[in-house]
Structure 1
Amino acid sequence: MEIFARVVSAGSMSAAGREMALSPAVVSKRIRRLEDRLGTRLLQRTTRQIAMTEAGQGFYERVVAILASVEEAESFVTRGSAQARGTLKVTAPTSFGRLHIAPYLGRFLEDNPDLAVNLDLADDFVDIVGEGYDLAIRIAELSDSSLVARRLAPVHRILCAAPSYLSRYGEPRSIEDLQENHVCIAAAAQDPWRLMGPRGIEIVRTGAPVRTNSSEVVREALLAGVGVALRSTWDIGPELRDGKLRIVLPQYRASKDVGLHAVYPSRRFLPAKVRVFIDFLAQLYGPSPYWDAGLDAWLAEPNVVEIG
């Protein structure tokens, strides 16, 4: 089962063999033996790639849970004398992972010397079961699913602009002023904006001269004074504090209840390596994350404009 799961996650028998120190011939023989015992084909093989059959997909999803439960059972027996071990495979949003996970991996690995971390950064939602991830870090309003989610921290999104932009165009005084007389920049997936304010939810369609699919491009354009953007405080907290950015229309903020979550497959036993990483992040961030330091007054009172 472990060899089959490794072949699927690695994408080929040779890659799985390298990970497990087995020859491709041995890997292929073990897969054939598994298929013979089950009486069905799990993988479709070509000269260039492998793909799961329908039976293989269902089997893989269950095998991943079984292997995790075995690991957790072994961890339970040895928990008194051993720390979490193995390789932890994590996916996270690109910017957040670079800013708020990567700098702290050294501390985490010092506390867990028997663990290795494989951190993949991507802005698309990945199939964590199908692609063999232990957990995903997601910034979203989560929908119901078979996955388990633990909220790690709140996420606040605010309107802001660079002083250079505001000196040229002035500060917007209303949503109508913002939409009619200002440049609003957003990645395609974040357009339009849904803002909560004194009049309830209002929609702002950006229509910016800069079009991009990259949130990081929006951030750089914002800092360069191109326009007004709706950004998360985890992304621009330092720039707000040092004056590189200023909050505009502080009575408005994103309407959705978006949070930072650790998401992992639903199972009875949570592997120790997953548990310690989630606990580490929950303690690192918490209900008042460090990136919101200095913004407490504004977050508590939306009408506050000045940031100390």
Structure 2
Amino acid sequence: MDPDYVLFGRVVECGSLSAAARALRISPAMVSKRLARLEARLGVRLVHRTTRRLAMTEAGERFHADVVAILAAMREAEARLTGIRDRPSGPLRISAPTSFGRLHIAPYLHRFLAQHPAVQLHLDLTDAAVDLFAERVDLAIRITAEVPASVVAHPLGANRRLLCASPSYLAAHGTPDTVSDLSRHYLLAADGQSPWRLANGRHRRAVEIDSVVGTNSSELVRELALSGVGIALRSLWDVGDALADGRLVRVLPDWSGPDDLAIYALHPHAPSVPAAVTAFIAFLRETLDPPPWGAA
């Protein structure tokens, strides 16, 4: 908005140069100079100056009506922008791992949507590490050991990983007693999940995996383990329910994945974080504390 338009509107509103000067906290001479500058730029006289009051010309009246409409539109635009900043609203694009999103976000989304009906949510479930900037993702749930410096990370919880198999598999193939015994068993892992890194106190072992079924889906690995195909290294959030009801049992309980992985909500650095992003982080923390998958 041209500041001289604002000045003209204030002059008309106040009815005199001196009153407008007081309202704008500048000198009457400056008000007069800027008003004359505006008239010269527009090529028309906007007001007739008198000793006591100002009288608008016909052109000034038409221009004043336009200026009032412009100023009102600007105030409405600012109000809308303030609302976007202060109230969760507008588009919100979330990315999450497929299994985690299906198990621990999707069942509870109705709560977030009920609390924030002005948010236009789009949830992408993928096991790929999406580029938040290239894909224009507002918030990503990521299970990782390293957080890029280019994003802000909000910890959501630990990511404990356990070896497990179905009772039917162990009944048919026996239970391994040592890490070395795993080489004689059917093992299950998605693409990119070999080798398994295992920890037992200070002891560390790496197990190269030739998965009995090749797949890019962690969800398929879970289903194969449940159906008795082999042994899998799975996150507790993924198999906690199956361990609790006996559909899976732990294998080599002294060994597990190292505790370097954690669950984070990540968003790009920004001078002002959108209210919808902040609200979704709060929703995640409320949903995942305490973790709904329990402990094994």
What is the TM-score of this pair, normalised by structure 2? 0.70
- Tell me, yes or no, if structure 1 residue 188 matches structure 2 residue 191: yes
What is the Cα deviation at residue 224 of structure 1? Answer: 1.1
- Tell me, yes or no, if structure 1 residue 284 matches structure 2 residue 287: yes
Q: Match of 2:127? A: 123
SS of residue matched to 1:165: helix
> Are 2:159 and 2:259, in contact at CA under 8 Å, matched by a contact in 1?
no
Runs of 4+ more than 3 Å apart: 70-73
- Tell me, yes or no, if structure 1 residue 94 matches structure 2 residue 81: no
Structure 2: how far apart are the matches of 1:118 and 1:235? Answer: 23
Change (3 A) 1:71 1:152: farther
Question: Which amino acid letter does the alignment assign opposite residue 149 of structure 1?
Answer: A
Q: Match of 1:248? A: 251
> Are 2:147 and 2:153, in contact at CA under 8 Å, matched by a contact in 1?
no
SS of residue matched to 1:236: helix
Structure 2: how far apart are the matches of 1:289 and 1:72? Answer: 37
- Tell me, yes or no, if structure 1 residue 74 matches structure 2 residue 77: no
Q: Match of 2:208? A: 205
Structure 2: how far apart are the matches of 1:282 and 1:75? Answer: 24
Q: Match of 1:222? A: 225
Q: Match of 2:275? A: 272
Structure 1: how far apart are the matches of 2:271 and 2:237? Answer: 32
- Paired residue total: 219
What is the Cα deviation at residue 117 of structure 1? Answer: 0.8
> Are 2:158 and 2:259, in contact at CA under 8 Å, matched by a contact in 1?
no
> Are 2:84 and 2:90, in contact at CA under 8 Å, matched by a contact in 1?
no
Question: Which amino acid letter does the alignment assign opposite residue 176 of structure 2?
Answer: P
Q: Match of 1:137? A: 141
What is the Cα deviation at residue 91 of structure 1? Answer: 0.8
SS of residue matched to 1:229: strand
Q: Deviations over 1:14-55 (max 9, x none)?
A: xxxxxxxxxxxxxxxxxxxxxxxxxxxxxxxxxxxxxxxxxx
Question: Which amino acid letter does the alignment assign opposite residue 110 of structure 2?
Answer: G
Question: Which amino acid letter does the alignment assign opposite residue 241 of structure 2?
Answer: P
Structure 1: how far apart are the matches of 2:268 and 2:186? Answer: 42
Change (3 A) 1:285 1:72: farther
Structure 2: how far apart are the matches of 1:274 and 1:285? Answer: 17
Quote the sequence identity (%).
45
What is the Cα deviation at residue 256 of structure 1? Answer: 4.7
What is the Cα deviation at residue 177 of structure 1? Answer: 1.3
The answer to which of 159-168 and 184-193 deviates more is 184-193
Structure 2: how far apart are the matches of 1:151 and 1:199? Answer: 25
Question: Which amino acid letter does the alignment assign opposite residue 170 of structure 1?
Answer: G
Question: Which amino acid letter does the alignment assign opposite residue 256 of structure 2?
Answer: R
Q: Match of 2:57? A: none
What is the Cα deviation at residue 73 of structure 1? Answer: 6.8
Q: Deviations over 1:65-118 (max 9, x none)?
A: xxxxx99972487x4xxx311121111111111111111111111111211211
SS of residue matched to 1:195: strand
